[in-house]
Amino acid sequence: MKKEKDSTYLFSLKEDSNFIAFLPVGNYYIDENFKNISQNPNGYYGSIAPSDLLIYNKKADEFYYIKCLASGSSKYSKEGIEYDLYFEIYPPIMLLDNKLNPKYYFFDTEEDGDINLAYYEILFFENYFQINSFAQKERKKINIQDLKFDDLEEVCTKETVLIKKEYFKYNKIDIFNIYNQKMNKQLLPHFPRVEN
């Protein structure tokens, strides 16, 4: 099959009766690694392996994308690339529908132990998409990582208040990176509205 630019490949890591864990890897990443092998066929040790996760919930028919700190290691040999994977959750955790459209980004607003859960709700329309920001009214000191996948949406969206609504025009946006782009101010609202 002809390789497409900027495609994401999903490698299945583990499957049980409820979940399938995938490792999303960009084709540019694999290409770069194989280029290193060809340049150094006697073996080379890298320091970083892909570490983000895409989890499919069979019962709920939805996905969770979990950002993890880049870690793990890769070893190049004549046979190919060997990755030792290591995952350390780095919120947000994104909930996607069965067509991989993002619905919610769940995250903590503080990291000092006084944790308040917050989330973005992402709504897609024909000509634009909308991000609604919510935060819990009271701090409940719930760590997002201590929740179960099936309880994530219910716990995070309970007793919240709408902070703001933002509207964005469609552009070439990697759906797995909306949160990062928003934090880095690369994704700016096209037509911000202020609630009365």
Partner 1 sequence: MKRLIVIFFLTNSLSFSQEKTIREFVSELNLTKLVIKDNFIFSGNILDSKLECKNYYY
Determine the 3-state secondary structure of 111 from DSSP.
coil
Under the criterion CB under 8 A, does residue 179 sit at the interface with partner 1?
A: no
Q: Binding-site residue total for partner 1 (CB under 8 A)?
A: 65
Which residues, numbered 112-131, are part of the site for partner 1 (CB under 8 A)?
A: 126-128
Kindly indicate which of the ranges 53-61, 107-115, 133-141, 153-161 contains the residues binding partner 1, using the contact rule CB under 8 A.
Answer: 53-61
In angstroms, the first-to-last Cα distance of the chain is 53
Task: Give the whole-angstrom CA distance, residue 10 versus residue 159.
Answer: 35
Residue 128 main-chain phi, psi, to 5 deg: -160, 170
Under the criterion CB under 8 A, does residue 82 sit at the interface with partner 1?
A: yes
Under the criterion CB under 8 A, does residue 27 sit at the interface with partner 1?
A: yes
Determine the 3-state secondary structure of 37 from DSSP.
helix
How far, in whole angstroms, is CA 129 from its chain's centroid?
18
Which residues, numbered 128-167, are part of the site for partner 1 (CB under 8 A)?
A: 128, 144-150, 152, 167
Closest separation between CB of residue 57 and partner 1, Å?
9
